[in-house]
Amino acid sequence: MSEDVHPNVGVLLFIAYRSMEQRVLEALAGLGYDITLAQARLFMRIAPHGSRQTDLAEQAQITKQSAGFLIEALEKAGYVERVPDPTDARARLVRVAAHGARAVETSRKVVDEILAEWTDHLGADRMRAMTDALVSLREITDPYR
């Protein structure tokens, strides 16, 4: 591939995301957090006050059965807990547990390091412009924003 030809912008965004995702998972593993890529992709969609399993499955674009399997594994490992839904006595919410909250805090630190590296590479103005553009693009691309 010549230097003039680049993958489309979607692929370029995915490459950057995958790099970040991999570094976060490696950092977590290095600190003893045992979480798979599939579990992490579901886990990161849990709302601050909890989410229903069906909502997590829809957002992760997986079956309810797959979501249930992943949630069960996350629960056994202490990353999440299932609690009654205060708005519907028949339903339960998946909520981040204390062990999961520590993993989130570790992840945030790694993401901050990565963003600092990207800012150093791109420069503050380009990084801000890219972030602003992606936030704007989210308005038409993210049904779960």
Domain limits at 45?
36-96
The verdict on 45 and 90 lying in the same domain is yes
Mind listing the pLDDT tens digit for each residue in 125-144? 999 999 999 999 999 998 88
The verdict on 101 and 114 lying in the same domain is yes
CATH number of the domain bearing residue 77:
1.10.10.10
Q: How many domains does the chain have?
A: 2
- Those residues with Cβ within 8 angstroms of residue 47's Cβ, 6 or more apart along the chain or in another chain: none
Mind listing the pLDDT tens digit for each residue in 80-110? 999 999 999 899 999 999 999 999 999 999 9
* Whether 74 contacts 80, CB under 8 Å: yes
* Whether 127 contacts 118, CB under 8 Å: yes
Residue 19 maps to a domain: no
At which of 61, 77, 96 does a domain end?
96
Q: Which of 12, 35, 138 is nearest to 96 (CA)?
A: 35
3-state secondary structure of 127: helix
User: Encoding tokens for residue 112?
Assistant: 């901050």
What pLDDT does 144 receive? Answer: 81
pTM of the model: 0.86
* pLDDT of 68 over the 90 cut: yes
